[in-house]
Amino acid sequence: MATVELKNVSKSYGTVEVLRDINLELEQGEFVVFVGPSGCGKSTLLRMIAGLEDITGGELRIDGQPMNDVLPAKRGIAMVFQSYALYPHMTVFENMAFGLEQARLNKAEIRERVEKAAKMLQIEAFLDRKPKQLSGGQRQRVAIGRAITCDPRVFLFDEPLSNLDAALRVDTRLEIASLGKRLPDTTMVYVTHDQVEAMTLADRIVVLNGGIVEQVGTPMELYERPASQFVAGFIGSPRMNFLNGTVAAAHGAETYGIRPEHISLSPDAGDWRGRVILTERLGSDTFVHVEVDGVGPVNVRIEGRSEVHANDEVHLTPDPASVHLFDAKGRPIPG
Amino acid sequence: MKPPLWQSIGFYILVGVIVLQALFPFYYAILTSLEDGQALFEVNYLPRALNLANYQAMLSGGVFGKQILNSVFVATVVVILSLFLAVTAAYALSRIRFRGRGLLLLTVLSVSMFPQIAVLSGLFEVIRYFGLFNSLWSLVFSYMIFTLPFTVWVLTTFMRNLPIEIEEAAIMDGASSFTIIRRVFLPLMWPAMVTTGLLAFIHAWNEFLFALTFLSTDSQRTVPVAIALISGRSEFEIPWGNIMAASVIVTLPLVALVLVFQRKIVSGLTAGAVKG
């Protein structure tokens, strides 16, 4: 049972508090993603679980054991770094074996474990190469392989895709997702600032902002029932339209939120009337930016192609069931 | 595009001048060392004789062999101690946060500002106090005053450029600080260590003033002083042949070291521009 518990965990550098009262329970085998804007403390939180940063308040438990003062290597944790952090002077095999050597395993077992991990990640052909002879994606797989060989209870990923180009990022994302399925007992904690990675990989997402947890939930919970205006704006792409003024006031709220995909567009009839400013055509979708009279700029997503062009007059109708209302503090108002 | 002929010619003339300027003194030393008697005082630019008598005289007669060993001992110990202290200091100075780190680095550097002659008399007292006078350890001690600042600085800068995530990965792999230095940092720092080690070796090998001051007997001297003090049968005779033979002998180890480590030196000098 590899559960990770954080109780009132906080982190401060001198007088600067970067994380405050974090309470989380990660279950065994769960794939949890920490997501948030840069500077929200998500990487710090991950590094505290890893043991690379001291915990200045609260308690971390893994499988019920307090871990605050346990050395990183004794926590049963493996980590994949953003920059891969492979040892440049060692071959792929030596890179993957290094941790096992430190754990004083015998040679035969080291070889067996490394080869098993290499097979799983399809890097057997590169075992004798040095990291600089590998491409970015291969290096990332070696870094994951190095983590797998240690047979960790908890697997930590610190923005592992951000150094890869866009096409490779999607492939590697799928590989990490399938890795999560192939290691059903291993708890995965994954840090990213990219909400698409969070939505596609996570069993549960932890949204962090300004050093506190904004919301914890499954991707769909966050999408359908955001606990704050921040989460509503952060989850979902393109982001939710936030409207102030008369539209919001009419619903007794400070802010009126509606996702671009929950607005229908019609050339002749609708609740709102406006003028198209810009269209973005992606083939599968078209994003139409409309300046609505008396409301403000609104982004609308239309499936497939659309014949709407800039300067056209259009009518918009928000789906009333998908409206999110927020008060002045950004808290949701139950609809 | 091919450069015009006069440019190529000019380039090679310039190269020739530089090579000549650098190598001629050494070449002439070799020539002189192979001559004997009156031949020494005739100016010639091509070898006329191949007379190894000077070398024989230097190596068989007396203490010169011992003096070479003195130099080897001093320079080697200085290099080993400097690199060991510098690597551990560089690890602390580049990786561990503590109050006054910047000030400490500047202090280390400022030690190398003082001219040797300025610290000579004070250092002499220190060495007497520790009972090191006329011992080779006096040179090891005093040379490290000058080799440590630059070895520490170069290695600290180099280590700062190594990505910190590599070290963190090693921590996650369960390596102790000492293992991290030995298995991860040392292999990556080889070029920088070879370069700084070689510079420290050359400094210790060539140093004259301290070696002259802190050692008093012939059998303890290191080669630069020994060569300067080689004397002839009378005070009016300077044995150029012997002096030149000795000079050539003491140059060879340095040439050999540089040739052996040539490639590492180049990568060490350009290390700042290359990512680990």
What is the tens place of the pLDDT at every residue in A184-193? 889 999 999 9
Residue A288 near residue A300, CB atoms below 8 Å: yes
Phi, psi values for residue A11, rounded to 5°: -140, 130
pLDDT for B265 equals 67
Give chain B's mean pLDDT: 86
Of B231 and B214, more confident: B214
Helices then strands (H, E): number in chain B?
12, 0
Mean pLDDT of the region B162-168: 87
CA distance A221 to A35: 15
**Mean pLDDT computed over B184-210:** 89
* CA–CA dist B36, B51 (Å, integer): 7
Give me the phi and psi of B73, to 5 degrees please. Answer: -60, -50
Q: Which residue is it, tokens 């110990």?
A: B77
Classify domain A4-233 at the CATH topology level. Rossmann fold (3.40.50)
Distance CA B126, CA B138 (A): 10
Whether B48 has a pLDDT exceeding 80, the answer reads no
Measure CB to CB from residue B172 to each of A78, A82, A86 and give the nearest one. A78
pLDDT, residue A137, reads: 85
Residue B169: list chain A partners with CB under 8 A.
Answer: 79, 81, 85-87, 146
pLDDT of residue B29 exceeding 80, the answer is yes
Percent of chain B with pLDDT over 90: 31
Strands A187-192 and A313-318: unpaired
Average pLDDT over residues B195-207: 91
Q: Which CATH superfamily is domain B62-273 in?
A: MetI-like (1.10.3720.10)
List Cα–Cα distances, B216 to A37, A321, B130, B138, B213, in angstroms: 71, 99, 16, 12, 7
A102 touches chain B (CB under 8 A): yes
3-state secondary structure of A78: strand
Which of B251, B150, B147 minimizes the C-alpha distance to B201?
B147
Across the interface, whether the CB atoms of A73 and B174 are under 8 A apart is answered yes
A240-333: CATH architecture? Beta Barrel (2.40)
Within 8 A of A87 by CB-CB distance, chain B residues are 166, 169-170, 184
What amino acid occupies position A119? K
The band of B266, judged by pLDDT with boundaries at 50, 70 and 90, is low
Residue from A75, A102, A149 to probe the interface with B (highest B Cβ count within 10 Å): A102
Q: What is the reported pLDDT for B9? A: 93
Q: Name the percent of chain A in helix, strand, coil, to the closest 5.
A: 30, 35, 35
Q: What is the reported pLDDT for B276?
A: 37
Percent over 70 (pLDDT), chain B: 95
Angle A318-A320-A325 from CA coordinates, rounded to 5°: 95
Phi, psi of B232 (to 5 degrees): -90, -165
Residue pair B219/B159 in contact (Cβ under 8 Å)? The answer is no
| Cβ–Cβ gap A52/B179 under 8 Å | no
Average pLDDT (B193-206) is 90
Residues of A in contact with B175 (CB under 8 A): 73, 98, 102
Burial class (CB in 10 A: 0-12, 13-18, 19+), A84: buried
In whole angstroms, how far apart are CA A308 and each of A275, A282, A299?
10, 14, 13
> Residues of B with CB below 8 A from A77's CB?
172
Q: How many Å lie between the alpha carbon of B213 and the closest alpha carbon of chain A?
A: 45
Whether chain A has a CB inside 8 Å of the CB on B37: the answer is: no
Q: Which positions in chain A touch B184 (Cβ < 8 Å)?
A: 87
Q: Do A81 and B174 lie within an 8 Å CB cutoff?
A: no
A325: its two tokens: 């209302």
Whole-angstrom distance, CA of residue A112 vs CA of residue A127: 13
Residue in B closest to A100 by C-alpha = B173
Query: Which residues of chain B from 153 to 182 reach within 8 Å of chain A, CB to CB?
Result: 163, 165-166, 168-175, 179
Alpha-carbon dihedral angle through residues B191, B192, B197, B199, given to the nearest 10 degrees: 110
DSSP bridge partners of A62? A4, A65
d(CA A97, CA A86) in angstroms, rounded, equals: 12
The predicted complex's ipTM stands at: 0.82
pLDDT of residue A234: 92
CATH 1.10.3720.10 residue ranges for chain B: 62-273
B-chain CB neighbours of A72 within 8 Å are 171-172, 174
Q: Is the dihedral of CA A104, A108, A112, A118 positive or negative?
A: positive
Interface touch A98/B163, C-beta < 8 Å = no
The kind and range of the H/E element at A16 are: strand A16-26
Q: How many CB pairs under 8 A join A and B?
A: 57
Q: Where in chain A is the domain with CATH 3.40.50.300?
A: 4-233
Please state which of the ranges A147-151, B138-142, B265-269 shows the lowest mean pLDDT: B265-269
The answer to whether residue B269 scores a pLDDT higher than 60 is: no
Residues across chain A: 335
Nearest-CA neighbor of A159 among A196, A193, A209?
Answer: A193
Residue A77 to residue B172, Cβ atoms within 8 A? yes
Predicted confidence at residue A213, as pLDDT, reads 93
Low-confidence ranges of chain A (pLDDT < 70): 1-2, 335
Give B271's pLDDT tier (boundaries 50, 70, 90): very low
How far is it, in rounded angstroms, from Cα B85 to Cα B81? Answer: 6
Residue limits of CATH 2.40.50.140 in chain A: 240-333
What is the C-alpha separation between A244 and A257, in angstroms, rounded?
Answer: 9
> Which of B97, B166, B173 to mutate: most A Cβ within 10 Å?
B173
Give the pLDDT confidence of A270-296 residue by residue, as tens digits: 899 999 999 999 989 999 999 998 888
The one-letter amino acid code at A164 reads: L
Look at chain B and count its residues.
276
The answer for A 182-241 residues in CB contact with B (under 8 A) is none
